[in-house]
Amino acid sequence: AAALDPETRRLTEERDVLGPAYRLFYRTPVHLVKGEGAHVWDADGTEYLDVYNNVASVGHAHPRVVEAIARQASLLNTHTRYLHENILKYADDILSTMPDELNRIMFQCTGSEANDLAVRVAQAYTGGEGVIVTAEAYHGNSALTSKLSPALGTAQDLGLTMRMIPTPDTYRLVIDGKPASACTAEEFGGWMAAEVRKAVADMNRHGIKFAALLADSIFSSDGVYPDPVGYLQPVIDTVHELGGVWIADEVQPGFTRTGDAFWGFERQEIVPDLVTSGKPMANGLPTSLMAARQEVLEPFAGSIPYFNTFGGNPVCMAAAQATLDVMCSEDTMGNAKRVGAIFKQAVTDLMPAHPCIGDVRGAGLYIGCEIVKPGTKDPDQAAALDILETLRAHHVLTSVCGRFGNILKLRPPLVFSEQDVDWFMSAFTDTLQELGL
């Protein structure tokens, strides 16, 4: 802490009041005060490139969203026990982006709450309790969802009704003697479906009835595994055959992020039973959703009242509406596809000169870059962390994901431009050179 400037040191020390559970990024924490598009500024006026933020989905401080929030806040903000246009208009507009089967929607404040509700809905519908997640998944911080989040590192405390299946690691897995990267979608999906079958058999042996698979279709915290497209079909078919439902967690792949479709499940051409999302939905206001097929929702909603004081309030709905409108008018899906492809190719092109890059994968503006020990697939977390710190020194912000914390997670606001890619690539090549990687 001695190397910190006085203001950074003061704020860092004052954070003691928040207790030790909160973790900051970087050895020298970043103190941000302002943002615009994919750029943020610290208290000293230094500009940074934001290659991490999927909360400011349509860009930091987007004027249309700011204006919508201010306008509604100056009129009325209240809970959801009264009629209001905003929630109904938004419900209509967001459901129109989904397949017709998904025709009911409820609003919350966080992704955790949305997943928590979806699990309860799935349990009421199936009469089961058991939930399957992948080995490095993160689905929330509530009492229920934290037990469905192995990424928290609390696997030994996980609930008795939860089962884990392996990460669908297309880089390292070998299936029946064949590298996963060489498998067809059908073969890879068949392997994953068999894992679901094993997990349900184990539940049943313990007297637990299967309720749901809770999974995001790009397996973001597992380490970013969006391909091959189609591999989830056999998995979801098996979930249904075994009497369960699929809760598609769209916190990460939803809202045009993958560039191929508005929703991650749409990219996989599957209609889920329940959909949850949050983070990118209202450009930073705490807003989340759970969409459902009516028949799936009915057993829960028909008997248990649900009240969420802030969920769906007029200001949050105004922010969500403006965010959705901007996604359409500025074609964030097209941008994610176009700029994402350029970005992924540019990082891939570094591989021959920098053997620490073992794999580059992703969809749209969600790219995972594996940092490994050269010539092997051994994860190199120390090198990945050195890269993060050096990128920060070059005023580029990002982070890592995956079991070994060695996968650079490149997930900028959806308005990331080609110039932003150039800025990143120049900082990244300098970083690799400086580190001798």
Q: Which residues bind ligand PMP (CB under 6 A)?
A: 110-112, 115, 138-141, 216, 220-221, 249, 251-252, 278-279
Quote the least distance from Cβ 236 to ligand PMP, whole Å: 17
Q: What burial class does residue 299 get, using C-beta atoms within 10 Å of its C-beta: 0-12 exposed, 13-18 middle, 19+ buried?
A: middle
Contact 421, 413 (CB under 8 A): no
Residue closest to ligand PMP when measured from CB atoms: 111
**CB nearer ligand PMP, residue 77 or residue 142:** 142
Cβ atoms < 10 Å from Cβ of 373: 15
User: How far is residue 164's CA from residue 250's CA, in Å, rounded to a whole number?
Assistant: 19
Quote the least distance from Cβ 148 to ligand PMP, whole Å: 10
> How far does Cα 257 stand from its chain's mean position?
9
Name the DSSP letter for residue 37. Answer: B
User: How far is residue 256's CA from residue 91's CA, in Å, rounded to a whole number?
Assistant: 18
The number of helix segments (H) and strand segments (E) in the chain equals 13, 17
Copy the structure tokens of residue 392: 């920060």
CA-closest candidate to residue 215, choices 146, 276, 263: 276
Quote the least distance from Cβ 115 to ligand PMP, whole Å: 6
For residue 73, the one-letter residue type is A
Spell 311-347 as b/e; 16+ CB within 10 A means b. bbbbbbbbbbbbbbebbeebebbebbbbbbeebbebb
User: What is the DSSP secondary-structure string of 345-380?
Assistant: HHHHTTTTT-TTEEEEEEETTEEEEEEB-TTS--B-
**CB nearer ligand PMP, residue 65 or residue 183:** 65
Give the CA distances from residue 303 to residues 246, 297, 366, 413, in Å, rounded to whole numbers and listed in that order: 22, 10, 40, 40
**CB nearer ligand PMP, residue 72 or residue 112:** 112
For residue 301, the one-letter residue type is A
Kind and range of the H or E element at 93?
A: helix 85-95
**CB nearer ligand PMP, residue 111 or residue 189:** 111
Quote the least distance from Cβ 162 to ligand PMP, whole Å: 15
**CB nearer ligand PMP, residue 111 or residue 226:** 111
Quote the least distance from Cβ 286 to ligand PMP, whole Å: 7
Q: What are phi and psi of 211, to 5 degrees?
A: -115, -50
**CB nearer ligand PMP, residue 131 or residue 357:** 131
Quote the least distance from Cβ 149 to ligand PMP, whole Å: 8
Quote the least distance from Cβ 140 to ligand PMP, whole Å: 4
Quote the least distance from Cβ 281 to ligand PMP, whole Å: 10
CA-closest candidate to residue 420, choices 362, 322, 308, 342: 342
DSSP bridge partners of 328: none
**CB nearer ligand PMP, residue 104 or residue 139:** 139
**CB nearer ligand PMP, residue 50 or residue 216:** 216
Quote the least distance from Cβ 279 to ligand PMP, whole Å: 6
**CB nearer ligand PMP, residue 22 or residue 82:** 22
**CB nearer ligand PMP, residue 138 or residue 428:** 138
Quote the least distance from Cβ 399 to ligand PMP, whole Å: 11
- Give me the count of residues in the chain: 437
